[in-house]
Amino acid sequence: MTTALVTGASAGIGHAFAQRLAREGHDLVVVARDRARLERLAADLRAAHGVDVEVLVADLSDRHATDAVCARLADADRPVDLLVNNAGFGLAGSFLDNDVAQEEAGLDVMVRAVMLTCHAAGRAMRARGHGAIVNVSSVASFIAHGTYSAEKAFVTVFSEGLASELAGTGVTVTALCPGFTRTEFHQRARMKFSALPEFLWLDADDLVQQALTDVAAGKVISVPGAQWKVLATTVRALPRPLVRGAGVRALHRFRRD
């Protein structure tokens, strides 16, 4: 039996990962800020699937809390076979209008914490000769729209580089790049996209199933959903000036405050 550590496990895509992995018989370490929600999740998963679920409360914008997660990943006596870096941080405003302290916290969660946890997990997995890392990025990493795109671009490119570094070691790294997914993420960040066409929305459970299939196949970049595969391929082939303009116009068109 293997053990997976999932950050941001109390809601959204992370919750879907935890549910799917428990259903497949994996033990879990679930990480998030909200202890009550994590405890409820752990109790539900234990009861439904008979797996062991460890609760690790951590705010990944805090360096000391992130260090505790890294220590768990590095623990040779309790190996983690799969790391899912899913914890997110959403800000509704534009960069210059947002509080810079909040922007910095977002950077800590979506860049620094990803780097640190990958370092801890990658070294431990490499020493054992097996393991997998999934870093939840976004199709936003292929465009240019504020710090969210920039942070996700780091996640995607960092994952590609780490995958190359770990090639041949038995450890895989996958950057998961979904499009818009029906979770509570946008509501919690006070983002509304009511004008977005229905066909562009992904289901979180389907997304996770596709992601795990891609991880098993050793894919470095996973873009769930045929519609997003087409869009991501198109965007990556376009000249950057067109990408910069089209990305911003599209988001403003589909967003409804």
Alpha-carbon gap, residue 149 to 154, rounded angstroms = 9
Beta-strand relationship, 131-136 and 171-176 = parallel
Q: Which residues are catalytic?
A: 148
Alpha-carbon gap, residue 100 to 97, rounded angstroms = 9
**b/e for 14-28, b at 16 or more Cβ within 10 A?**
bbbbbbbbbeeebbb
Dihedral angle at the C-alpha atoms of 96, 93, 7, 15, nearest 10 degrees? -170
CB-facing half-sphere around the CA of 146: CA atoms within 13 A: 19
Enclosing H/E stretch for 54: strand 53-57
Check residue 17 and report its DSSP letter. Answer: H
